[in-house]
Chains A and B, each alone.
Chain A
């Protein structure tokens, strides 16, 4: 596709349920980031994938959060046993090798009720 694609665009889930958020980066972009934007807070780094290197998971807020990137392309962010404080917009971005300018998807708005 022409840009970074995220799905779903909106997700409402019940507290305690698991959710999966998907990111399809721009073809050829080896770097992929997940960020979280909570109401009234700045974007928060979650995880970074670069090629075949081990991902930087230092931003994941708890062990309920995990992410994988299959085949160096599509990434899935999984949140287990969702809590109300997980409600936020989850943004995915990708960039070319050695380039800092990242292209962002439109985000997934997650609401935990």
Chain B
């Protein structure tokens, strides 16, 4: 059974720091992995999607890497800003899900970037 773990559960940093959020999964047979951002009352926003054949994806100050064999992904945020404060969720799509694109989720990392 696929399980997704995110470390740390919470993180507080001063503005401007570079930071790394970690995600691990128990079954390396994944189709893809996504990082989401969750803001209170605003639902979830997809940040980056990495296919199983890819090693990393970048969007602006965000870079996500994937090491499928070791069951790990990291989300790197450069030059953090107070507006980055949110909960960051990692989710994997199992490789055996067929046409169902259901996701298995971690509990998230709650990030606070202090001015």
Contacts and interface: CB of A to CB of B under 8 A. Distances in A.
Contacts of A59: 102
B101 A100 contact: yes
Interface string A42-81: 1111001010010010010000000000000000000000
A101 B91 contact: no
Interface of B is mostly: strand
Given A42-B107, A45-B102, A101 B43 contact: no
Interface string B94-115: 0000011111111110000000
Contacts of B68: none
A86 B113 CA distance: 33
A21 interface: no
Contacts of A93: 44
A48 B102 contact: yes
A63 B96 CA distance: 25
A31 B107 contact: no
B41 interface: yes
Given A100-B93, A100-B101, A101-B34, A107 B43 contact: yes
B1 to A, nearest CB: 13
Given A31-B101, A43-B91, A43-B103, A106 B41 contact: yes
A59 B101 CA distance: 13
Contacts of A82: none
Interface of A: 4, 9, 31, 33, 40-45, 48, 50, 53, 56, 59, 91, 93, 95, 100-107
Interface of B: 4, 31-32, 34, 41-46, 49, 89, 91, 93, 99-108
